[in-house]
Structure 1
Amino acid sequence: MTSPLVSIRNLEKRFDLSGGFLEQIQFEGGRFRRKQEAVHAINGVNLDVNKGEALCVVGESGCGKSTVARTVMGLISPSAGEIHYDGQRIDNLGGKAALPYRRKMQMIFQNPYASLNPRMTIQQTLEEPIRFHHQDWSPTQVRDKIHEVMHSVGIDPDWGSRFGHEFSGGQRQRIAIARALAVDPEFIVADEPISALDVSIQAQVLNLLMDAQESRGLTYLFITHDLAVVEHFGTRVAVMYLGRVCELADTKTLFAMPRHPYTQALLSAIPKLEDDRPNHIRLQGEVPTPVNLPSGCVFHGRCPYANERCRQEVPQLIATDGGAQVACHAVEEGRL
């Protein structure tokens, strides 16, 4: 086994809700108390992204998948844990030390209407990262590189003098992909890059990403909530629930034989035409708040297989016979 390109170890992220020190002081029961609250967005995530693969992270809204993406890219500082790129720890780097990794790692954002600067032409948008990372390049080299990436994503180079508002959502997302490819990265984080697009355009953008992966040898961390996209695009899948990874498997294994109760419920919700498909699993209760996380397994309040151990002890990812990794006491004990 080769070492992973990106390695995430015991990653945690908390967003403080308490405000300043004076705002945390409260008078209760005849005495002053300091009350601190935080959103526990990520809670001990461990993931490896192997070179050349597309690792998809799925889960419902609020599960922490986009926070993982932004933390890996350095847009958010982790509260705990480590992030390694090609064996080098990068979450503690800053300034010039981080520059080589800024070029190797690029991100495609969810909303193409917000990710492009409305004051910059497409030419300026694509020029900016190239001039920043290749300050010794001549204007001719910069222009040739811009034309090359625009052709590779199906954009006419003559569009360079126009502004972002003159394009449709699909065209803007192609421009955003061209911006990410302009510095020849090795690793791309795609944070729900097609969710804001029309269904008719989604397949075009997905195929563009797959073609770029094949021609450029790219590695993807792909964040999505669309399981049909995962089945078509992903090499492996990590399923998240309330800031934790509950199952990790290759795509075929996960869709053919999901093991975690939450994954089973998630996949049962996919609309299918077959008459013999299993009945839709309806989970009871609501998703707990990430401010006050439940003890033990974060899913135990909605799980039909939960017992006392599930309520007290946090499950860890364990390998199963099918090659998947599952964080579930019921699977470990043979009850499921």
Structure 2
Amino acid sequence: MTIPLIQINGLEKTFTTHEGWLGQWHFHQGKLTRRKDSVHALNGINLTINKGETLCIVGETGCGKSTLARTIMGLTSPDSGEIRYLDQRIDHLNNQQRMPFRRRMQMVFQNPYASLNPRMTVYQTLSEPISFHNPKLSQSQIDEKVEVLLESVGISASSSDHYPHEFSGGQRQRISLARALSVDPDFIVADEPLSALDVSVQAQVLNLMMDKQEERNLSYLFITHDLAVVEHFATRVAVMYLGRICELAPRSALFNHPKHPYTRALLSAIPRLDSNTTQAIRLIGEVPTPIEKPIGCVFQARCPYANQRCYDQSPEMITQSDESSVACHAIEEGRL
């Protein structure tokens, strides 16, 4: 059996809120007590990412997508659970112990205007990780590698002495991708890398990422709000809601036969040109807050199929015949 490149088991992450001094106090049973609210960002995430595939994470703002990405990369420490790289546990490692994995796991951030150091030229940005991870390379070899990297992402090598502010948003994101590729990684986390770009530029950057994946057999964890991008780019899709994964499926299975009520609502909102498109599903009910984690299903308050079991018991992921998995009592009981 092939070992997954990335394996995540039972990942949990909670953040303590930091309110003003007055906001931290409230009356409870007639007494003034200090309130300690916590945001439950990740609630038992289980995922695998295989070599050469693109796993897209979708879900509304605040569902925990970016927290998941940062936790995988070691930028945020999980409260519990495990993260394994080729079956080697890495979530408990300190910065020094994690260093060998820094080369194999890279990240492209959402904002190309903030993720590049404004005081470093493009050459410095790319040469620094190359020289750090390859101390035996000569200066001429580093120069050659920087030139090849820039040309491979569509940036002229003659621009290597320019600073980030001299480039457009699309060019900066190409440079960010070149920086991630500079150490020859196996796995790249892309946290909404297209959201700050114009539509035409988005297509260019997306095609570039697909080309690099084919050339280098890269694996991507790709976070986005754009379902059209997911339909074009994904191998598998994980749908997140309030810190949980409610559906995980191959791309074709998810778009052709969505199962979870939340997934159906998301996909119904995609604009289509054909006249046979079903009407968009409008979710009603109060949107829950991650501070007040529901006892049962996280989607209970907005689900038209919810019954008492949904309020009392959290659903487990159930594998379907089309290789998809879904966490829904209604599907398990045949009510949907």
TM-score (norm 1): 0.96
| Alignment partner, residue 38 of structure 2 | 38
The superposition leaves residues 240-284 of structure 1 with CA deviations (integer Å, 9 ceiling, x where unpaired) of 001100000000000000000000000000000111111111000
Aligned-partner residue type, residue 66 of structure 1: S
* Gap change, CA 1:249 and 1:34, over 3 Å in 2: same
The 5-angstrom pairing of residues 242-253 of structure 1 reads 242-253=242-253
* Gap change, CA 1:137 and 1:21, over 3 Å in 2: farther
Q: Could you tell me how far apart the structure 2 residues matched to 1:324 and 1:208 are?
A: 29
* Gap change, CA 1:301 and 1:30, over 3 Å in 2: closer
Q: Could you tell me how far apart the structure 2 residues matched to 1:2 and 1:21 are?
A: 53
* Gap change, CA 1:206 and 1:328, over 3 Å in 2: same
| Alignment partner, residue 60 of structure 2 | 60
The superposition leaves residues 125-155 of structure 1 with CA deviations (integer Å, 9 ceiling, x where unpaired) of 1111112212222111111111111111111
| Alignment partner, residue 287 of structure 2 | 287
The 5-angstrom pairing of residues 288-327 of structure 1 reads 288-327=288-327
| Alignment partner, residue 116 of structure 2 | 116
| Alignment partner, residue 268 of structure 1 | 268
Once the two structures are TM-superposed, the CA of residue 88 in structure 1 deviates from its matched residue by 0.4
* Gap change, CA 1:281 and 1:19, over 3 Å in 2: closer
Asked if 2 retains the 8 angstrom alpha-carbon contact of 1:18 and 1:38, the reply is no
Once the two structures are TM-superposed, the CA of residue 321 in structure 1 deviates from its matched residue by 2.0
Once the two structures are TM-superposed, the CA of residue 176 in structure 1 deviates from its matched residue by 0.4
The superposition leaves residues 217-245 of structure 1 with CA deviations (integer Å, 9 ceiling, x where unpaired) of 10000001100000100000000001100
Which of 292-301 and 175-184 deviates more?
292-301
The superposition leaves residues 63-122 of structure 1 with CA deviations (integer Å, 9 ceiling, x where unpaired) of 111110111001111111110001100011113321110000000000101111111110
Query: Percent sequence identity over matched residues?
Result: 62
Q: Could you tell me how far apart the structure 1 residues matched to 2:72 and 2:65 are?
A: 11
* Gap change, CA 1:207 and 1:284, over 3 Å in 2: same
How many aligned positions are there? Answer: 336
| Alignment partner, residue 162 of structure 1 | 162
CA RMSD of aligned residues (A): 1.8
Q: Could you tell me how far apart the structure 2 residues matched to 1:285 and 1:198 are?
A: 34
Q: Could you tell me how far apart the structure 1 residues matched to 2:142 and 2:20 are?
A: 47
Q: Could you tell me how far apart the structure 2 residues matched to 1:23 and 1:239 are?
A: 34
* Gap change, CA 1:291 and 1:184, over 3 Å in 2: same
Asked if 2 retains the 8 angstrom alpha-carbon contact of 1:18 and 1:35, the reply is no
Asked if 2 retains the 8 angstrom alpha-carbon contact of 1:110 and 1:192, the reply is yes
Which of 214-223 and 29-38 deviates more?
29-38
| Alignment partner, residue 139 of structure 2 | 139
Once the two structures are TM-superposed, the CA of residue 29 in structure 1 deviates from its matched residue by 3.7
The superposition leaves residues 165-198 of structure 1 with CA deviations (integer Å, 9 ceiling, x where unpaired) of 0010000000000000000000000001111100
Which of 177-186 and 289-298 deviates more?
289-298
Once the two structures are TM-superposed, the CA of residue 28 in structure 1 deviates from its matched residue by 4.0
Q: Could you tell me how far apart the structure 1 residues matched to 2:217 and 2:308 are?
A: 47
Asked if 2 retains the 8 angstrom alpha-carbon contact of 1:9 and 1:44, the reply is yes
Once the two structures are TM-superposed, the CA of residue 25 in structure 1 deviates from its matched residue by 7.1
Any stretches of 5+ residues in structure 1 without a counterpart?
Answer: none
Once the two structures are TM-superposed, the CA of residue 24 in structure 1 deviates from its matched residue by 6.3
The 5-angstrom pairing of residues 68-87 of structure 1 reads 68-87=68-87
The 5-angstrom pairing of residues 217-228 of structure 1 reads 217-228=217-228
* Gap change, CA 1:41 and 1:228, over 3 Å in 2: same
Once the two structures are TM-superposed, the CA of residue 19 in structure 1 deviates from its matched residue by 7.4
